[in-house]
Amino acid sequence: MNQPFGFSASDDDGRDENRDREPGDSGGPGGFGGFGGAGGFDPSQFGQFGQMLSQFGQMLGSMGSAMSGPGSSGPVNYQLARTIALQALGRTPVITDASRTAAEESVRLAELWLDETTVFPTGVHRTEAWTPQQWVEKSLPTWEKVCTPVAEQMSSATRGAMPEEARQLAGPLLGMLDQMGGLGFGMQLGQGLGRLAPAVLFSSEVGLPFGDDGVAALCPSAIDAFADELELPRQEVVVFLAAREAAHLRLFAGAPWLRARILATVDEYAKGIRVDTSGLDDLAAGLDPSILQDPTKLQELLSGGAGAIGPKVTNVNEAALGRLETLLALVEGWVDAVVTDAVGDRLPSADKLRETWLRRRAAGGAAEQAFSSLVGLELRPRLAREASELWRRVGEAVGTERRDGLWSHPDLLPVGEDLENPAAVIDRLLDESSGEQSGVDEIERFLREAGGAGGGGPEADGPEADGPEADGPDRNA
């Protein structure tokens, strides 16, 4: 499993540059014996650590507005993430009026087709065309909700892993350590968004709508590149992607609990994060103060490069991870099922577009890779494909209304085991239908028998019906 952003996985290749170091040896310039190593925490070397943090503070001051103002504090420096992402994107592409018109008309056409394949009404109130820069700006509030719980838990776990004497000696420097963590997370988030933004095709591609409620957003520059790669008519590609965007918005509007449930599951996953304190030993022993004077090396250190700063982490809440992956797969699968029905034979390239889309998921497209590297969670494409098959078969067996009715409450949704056994879901729904019908039949039979016992007509409601015989053991039985 990929580790959450800002941290690196434990090394399993057996390499250890400090393997031959004697106990208590700092192992390099600026080392201070490690927090929990054989030599224990050495207070006499804490001054060097303070100098390192002072140099780091000076570097922070040189980064200007990215280090202050809204979004610069907390477990993730979102202001810095925004700055880095926008710098990585460079020049803003021009969106023509023709591209905006094509987006609006494609969404409008897709909505007409979706009316025939789902009971959920339209969730689109406005259609927009976004540049990669606009996607970064629009998506940051949602990324903040997704990333903050993970970063908060990692920061708390890191501080808790420090020995008590280290925390006492650090004193106010702990605040700077927190700022280092926020800076590192912000750098990695910014780099990830900078790589992801040019490849995003529509706002909900990652699995959550990133625009405002009711806003369908397509990204023309990425769509142009996608259509050129496939060598397919751009108009068909735009309509296909518009249908997926519109279907996402219908689902999230029709199941208003869904967005909050996804974010709550991310938070639940975050609470399972645990810190391996040996990572702090490695940090203490090998950190070179000169790195703090080289922004390039520091950025690599903080953003998960070779020798990444911070502890190694694991997560003990695999159940939450499984629930989140299942929920995201159910969303993607439902969208795929209703869009496949909607476009049908209307788009000559529909089959090729769908298969290309599924392969894109299976290969780990930019959206999946970003979600995995930024949050430490992975949407397994295999589940999305199987979820699509589940929704298709459920719809064929019980109808569109009952299929979409499963989204009325989270407890009604299929679970992970159901994705590989759609027949179990169908059997449950058919059993429920059979039970409802048999209950009605039983009531009608009882009324007929009661009417016959009373001779029919009003007499059935007379005193005889209330006599001792009606309350006897046979009735209770």
Task: Give the residue extent of every domain in the chain.
Answer: 58-357
- pLDDT (0 to 100) of residue 316: 72
Residues 6 or more apart whose CB falls under 8 angstroms from that of 146 comprise 208, 263, 266, 374, 375
Q: Give the pLDDT band of residue 206 (cuts 50, 70, 90).
A: confident
Handedness of CA 431, 433, 437, 440 (dihedral sign): positive
Q: For residue 380, what pLDDT is reported?
A: 57
Q: Put residue 7 in one of left, alpha, beta given phi > 0 → left and psi -120 to 50 → alpha.
A: beta
Distance between CA atoms of 184 and 8, rounded to whole angstroms?
12
Dist. CA 93–CA 133, nearest whole Å: 9
Beta bridge partners of 312: 276
Q: Which residue has the higher pLDDT, 365 or 16?
A: 365
Mean pLDDT over residues 159-180, rounded? 64
Dihedral over Cα of 282, 177, 268, 145: its sign? negative
Give the number of other CB atoms < 10 A from CB of residue 231: 8
Residue 268, pLDDT score: 87
Lowest mean per-residue pLDDT among 53-67, 226-240, 260-274, 418-432: 53-67
Mean pLDDT for the chain?
A: 75
| Type of residue found at 59 | M
Write down the architecture of domain 58-357 according to CATH.
Up-down Bundle (1.20)
Q: Using pLDDT thresholds of 50, 70 and 90, give the confidence band for residue 459.
A: very low
Query: pTM here?
Result: 0.71
- Tens digits of residue pLDDT in 324-353: 889 988 999 999 999 999 998 899 999 999
pLDDT at position 218 over 50: yes
Termini Cα distance of the chain:
56
User: How far apart (Å, rounded) are the C-alpha atoms in residues 433 and 440?
Assistant: 11
Distance CA 348, CA 368 (A): 28
Fill in the amino acid letter for 463. P
Q: Is the pLDDT of residue 47 over 70?
A: no
Residue 439: is its pLDDT beyond 60?
A: no
Mean predicted confidence (pLDDT) in 88-98: 93
Residue 175 reports pLDDT greater than 70: no
Q: What is the pLDDT of residues 364-401, one digit of tens each?
A: 666 666 666 666 666 555 688 899 999 999 999 999 99
- Residue 70: the pLDDT is 55
Banded model confidence at residue 305, pLDDT cuts 50, 70, 90: very low
Residue carrying structure tokens 């192992």:
27
- Name the percent of the chain lying above pLDDT 70: 58
pLDDT of 385: 85
Q: What is the pLDDT of residue 20?
A: 44
Does residue 258 have a pLDDT over 60?
yes
Stretch 190-200: mean pLDDT: 90
* pLDDT reported for residue 19: 40
